[in-house]
Structure formats: C-alpha cells, structure tokens
Structure 1
C-alpha cells in the first residue's frame, strides 16, 4: 500500500460535508493520525466548536458560487497546498419532502436540477476553486463519494432517476478533471468511491431491504475508504472503486 501522504511536511486535508455521517467518521479517523497538520472541515452549519486544534470548521454553502470562490481565496491565503481532499456532500432525499423517483411519472425538473447541483456540480466546482492547491508535484489525492447506482453498466433495477443520473454525471466530470489534472500534477490521483450502504441519515429511509451484514457503520466505512485511497496512486486516477477496493463499471 502506498503512503497516504508525502513525508516532507504535515498534511493539509479538506473534508467537504464533514459534520455527520461518513464525512464525520472520516474526519475522526484522520485526526487519529500523527502526520496530519490541519483539517479543514466544511458544512452548512456547526453547533459546537472543534475539540482538536488541528480541525478548522468552516460554515460553507457549497452550492453558492460566491461562497465557493471566497473559500478558495481563504485557503490559498492560509496554505501552500492540499494533500487530500474528500468530498462527502450528497443529496438523495429531503426529510418530509422529495424522495427518489420510483417511476417516470415522479420525475420533476426542480429535483433533477437540485440533485445535479449537489451530487455532480459541487465536487467539480471544489476542484476548480482549489486547483492552485492541487497543482505541483506533491502526492495529492482528490476523492469524492459517488454511488454504485450511478453506474450505467450496473443499472438493472431502474428508478431513482435524479440520483442515478447525477452520480453518473459526477463520475464523468471528475474523470475528465483527472485527465487535465494529470498534466498539472503528475502525482495527483482522483478517485470516485462507492461507500456501500452506510447507517446514516441519507440511507435511513431505505434500509429495510438491506441484506444482513451489508449495512455498515460510518467508522467502518471511513476506515475502508481511507484504505482504498491509500491503495491507489496516479496510475489509477479517474477510476471508480467500491469500499472493498473492487472496481465498478461505468
């Protein structure tokens, strides 16, 4: 397994969507490491300050272009590079509101656009704004949570139009970014990751039919995703993997 970070200086990490679920578990796992210098953790809202001085919590609406631009300016002023960026932002349903479509008649334009904004555009726009911190020759990874249901080749059940299509769009956008990024940092690696069905608020309404042993705790998923990230380097950039390291067809 390759090292997660270069050894020349303490690592600077950013986790988008790090206030709960898988994102929070990833932050907590990373804070157990001694080679972490600082973790920027993004969320819409924070209810309490961070307990570890290395964790810098930022309130950010990643769907707002001006806020995203301001985030980029702030980070460029505070650090010289990012060693790891993990995007955990995602939208599958709204509490007491819109849900994944079961049939074509359920499709609504506003829900399609909202899903594409959060699930596809946000990770790419993060890459755009933070590209100056990803350039260079340092070992650097950009990982984003996708989903197996975003695989066109693996789609056998149908339904979930907006979420499936938005995750498929994210896969294409970030694979395209990976090709450009390779020219700007030959040691960069962009990965699309399927975390499996995890016991979080995102999956809560859909857990009833999950097979026994296939509903994972966030801490387990965070550990496995970090192993997958560490196990892949520049030659694997732009590829799509499950939590167990197995490749997923596009």
Structure 2
C-alpha cells in the first residue's frame, strides 16, 4: 500500500488531492500537512508545519516516519498577505515583496524537498511533485508583469530540475517534477479570473484529478520537467 504526503493540504488543490488519494484502494496512508490542523479521517493523518520554518518541516517529516511513495507540495502564493501584488510594472517592485514570494514559492518547497528526499524509497518508484505555474516559464513569457511570482516559480522549476538530476544518481526509479494545475477556482486565483473561459476554469477537484492522472503516467525520463495538467511538457 502506498504512503503519500500532501504539503499544503488545507488549500483548495491540496485538500482535493488529499481526499482523492484517501479514496484510492492502493493508498494506505495520506499524511496531510498544513499550517492549520487538518482533521484526521480514516487514512488521513494530520501534521502541522510552517513553510517558513525549516525546523517544523524537519519535525513533520520525522513524525511521518518510514518511506513515502508520493509527495506533492501544493503550496504557493500569488498575492501577499497584505493584499498587494502581483506587480503589474517594474515600478511596483520591492525587495520585501520579492523576498516574500521567493520564501513561499521557492525556498519553502526546497526546504521540504531537502527533508523528504531521504525518505523516498530506493528500491521502487517514487514521485516528488510541486505545484508550479505556466507563467514560471521564461520562454512562454509574452505579457510581462507579475515579476516576483513569475521569477519565484521559475526558480522553483530550476530547483526541481537540479534536484532531479541529483536524485537520479541515487534513486533510479524516482521522478521529481513541477506541475502546472491550470487555472483553478481558488482564493489564490479568484481576483484574476476575469476573461478566463468557463471551460478553462477548473474546480480544485477537477485539477487534482488531472494532476494525479499525470503523476500516474510519469517515468524517470521525464524527471526534472515542468508538466501541464494535460500531460504536456512546458518549456522552461
């Protein structure tokens, strides 16, 4: 039976992923990690952590114990807690805002990876995935704007490409990828949904199903890639 962990399990996509995985017959445990407590329910085992506090991440991973077959980092921030952002122009750039975006969207997931990679199995397939975004693709940037969010997601993509290379040397069957979930109807994207066709605005459940389908078909050859909800690769 598979053991899974969802970091950011209280968010829209994270909660949907947790529910879907817990309903699968081949899954024995779903460790749901969030800053606010998640309710224990059947296969769901709650843990608390703070994305900005690496010690709490290390403690949560130690509390999980044993190996994990699937880890999904479903954390992220587009708008700061004070309501500012994303920047529409370079004139809105500020060091504090940029540091905030990088702390949540790149440094936090990197800290999680540091502590979960040692508990991935070496003798079978394992997947480490982080929710990224198409706007983190440098080659796909045609509109500009959203400077800190774009840059922090691009950094996340590069971090995962780099750790995937290292992971391949010790875990030949493992896969590490970043995933674009599509435009999902969550509080994170709600202020920016105007103009999105209804058929391209996903519920968290629909996006989570797509992402799990993509994960199911991943092979080590695609490790390090940025992959969209429909299974297509997105160029960096």
| TM-score, length-scaled by structure 2 | 0.96
Q: Is the 8 A contact 1:191 1:229 kept in 2?
A: no
Q: For residue 184 of structure 2, what is the aligned residue in structure 1?
A: 198
Provide the alpha-carbon RMSD of the alignment. Answer: 1.2
Q: For residue 32 of structure 2, what is the aligned residue in structure 1?
A: 41
Structure-to-structure mapping, 1:34-183, within 5 angstroms: 34-46=25-37, 49-50=39-40, 52-75=41-64, 78-79=65-66, 81-94=67-80, 97-183=83-169
Task: Give the superposition deviation at 1:109.
Answer: 0.6
Task: Give the superposition deviation at 1:70.
Answer: 1.6
Task: Give the superposition deviation at 1:208.
Answer: 1.1
Q: Is the 8 A contact 1:17 1:43 kept in 2?
A: yes
Q: Runs of 4+ in structure 1 displaced over 3 angstroms?
A: none
Q: For residue 16 of structure 2, what is the aligned residue in structure 1?
A: 25
Q: For residue 5 of structure 1, what is the aligned residue in structure 2?
A: none
**Could you list the per-position Cα deviations for residues 131-171 of structure 1 after superposition, in whole angstroms to 9, with x for gaps in the alignment?**
22114122100111110000000000000000000000000
Q: Is the 8 A contact 1:175 1:239 kept in 2?
A: yes
Q: Is the 8 A contact 1:146 1:170 kept in 2?
A: yes
- The worse-fitting range, judged by mean Cα deviation, of 21-30 and 60-69 is 60-69
**Could you list the per-position Cα deviations for residues 26-76 of structure 1 after superposition, in whole angstroms to 9, with x for gaps in the alignment?**
111111101111111111112x622x221111121021022122223323x
Output the CA distance in 1 between the equivalents of 2:9 and 2:32.
Answer: 5
Q: Is the 8 A contact 1:43 1:61 kept in 2?
A: yes
Output the CA distance in 1 between the equivalents of 2:213 and 2:61.
Answer: 28
Q: For residue 217 of structure 2, what is the aligned residue in structure 1?
A: 231
- Structure 2: give runs of 5+ residues left out of the alignment: none
Output the CA distance in 2 between the equivalents of 1:249 and 1:135.
Answer: 29
Task: Give the superposition deviation at 1:211.
Answer: 2.2
Output the CA distance in 2 between the equivalents of 1:69 and 1:141.
Answer: 19
- Structure 1: give runs of 5+ residues left out of the alignment: 1-9
Corresponding pairs, count: 236
**Could you list the per-position Cα deviations for residues 97-129 of structure 1 after superposition, in whole angstroms to 9, with x for gaps in the alignment?**
212000011011111111111111122211111
